[in-house]
Amino acid sequence: ASQVLVMGPDDYIVAVVSSLNRPFGSGIITPSGILLNSQMLDFSWLNSTLNYSSPGLRNLIQPGKRPLSFLLPTIVRPSEGMCGTYLCLGANNGDKALSSITQVLVNVLTLNKNLSESLSLGRLHPQLQSNILQVDSEFPEEDIKFLESRGHQVDKVDVLSLVHGARRTNNFIIGVKDPRSMDAAGATIL
């Protein structure tokens, strides 16, 4: 998925996450250059659904229906008043986006870490089918041992998900990209 996060001078916060499903979608490109999506893969299919999670029946394919999506643009603001921290987050890579955004929010809002550090810290993601806990390359070995001592089966992967963010505290705004991405960029108007 692609992410776009904007915190503008007009006091609006905008987060957009868009996708084609798989890389290059269906692989079909029209003569005029439009690459077409493969979003039907996000629907649950009956035979694979029933032996895994029966509530997935709500996501069976149907004409005119939108499939279940883990596109999760997320915005945070103070629950009372206007003063305090505003956040704007986006993430990619399917259901790993949910895990990643949760951990970044815990880092910023609970552990009071700054946004840059919160985005750069190692993250984990439980694979439901295999019951394996995936961790990314930034995840400390010490923490992996902690988790294994609690009975988690841990598997290390390079990148789980890219999370970008923007933060506003009063009138100070900063845009931060996930350091795992070589191409992403955050820019701030001063």
Partner 1 sequence: AAEKEASQQSTLGAYSPVDYMSITSFPRLPEEEPAGAAAEGCLRSRKEEDAFLGEQDTDPDSFLKSARLQRLPSSSSEMGSQDVSPLRETSKDPFSADCSCRQDGLTVIITACLTFAMGVTVALIMQIYFGDPQIFHQGAVVTDAARCTALGIEVLNKQGSSVDAAIAAALCAGIINPHTSGIGGGGVMLVHDIRKNESQVIDFRETAPFGIQEEGLQKAWELKPGLLVGVPGMIQGMHKAHQLHGRLPWSELLGLTANIAQDGFNVTHDLARAIAELKELNYSDKFRETFLPDGQPLLPGMFVRRLDLATILDLVGSEGVSAFYGGNLTQEIISEVHNYGGVLLEEDFSNYNALVENPVHTVYQGHLVLSPPPPHAGPALITALNILEGFNITSQVTRENTLHWIAETLKIALDLANSLGDPVCDASVYHSVEDMVSKSKAGFLRQLINDSQSFPSGINIPHFSMESGPP
The yes or no reply on residue 157 touching partner 1 (CB under 8 A) is: no
Buried b (16+ CB within 10 A) or exposed e, 55-67: ebeebeeeeeeee
Supply the minimum distance, in Å, between the C-beta of residue 179 and partner 1: 12
Is 120 a residue that touches partner 1 (CB under 8 A)? no
Q: How far is the CB of 137 from partner 1 (least distance, A)?
A: 16
Nearest to 40 by CA among 19, 63, 61, 70: 61
Nearer to partner 1, 95 or 138 (CB): 95
Q: How far apart are the first and last CA of the chain?
A: 29
- Please report whether residue 84 would count as binding partner 1 according to CB under 8 A: yes
54: tokens are 């029966």
Side chain identity at residue 55, one-letter code: P
Using rule CB under 8 A, residue 51 touches partner 1? no
Say whether residue 83 binds partner 1 (CB under 8 A): no
- In angstroms, give the least distance from the CB of 58 to partner 1: 3
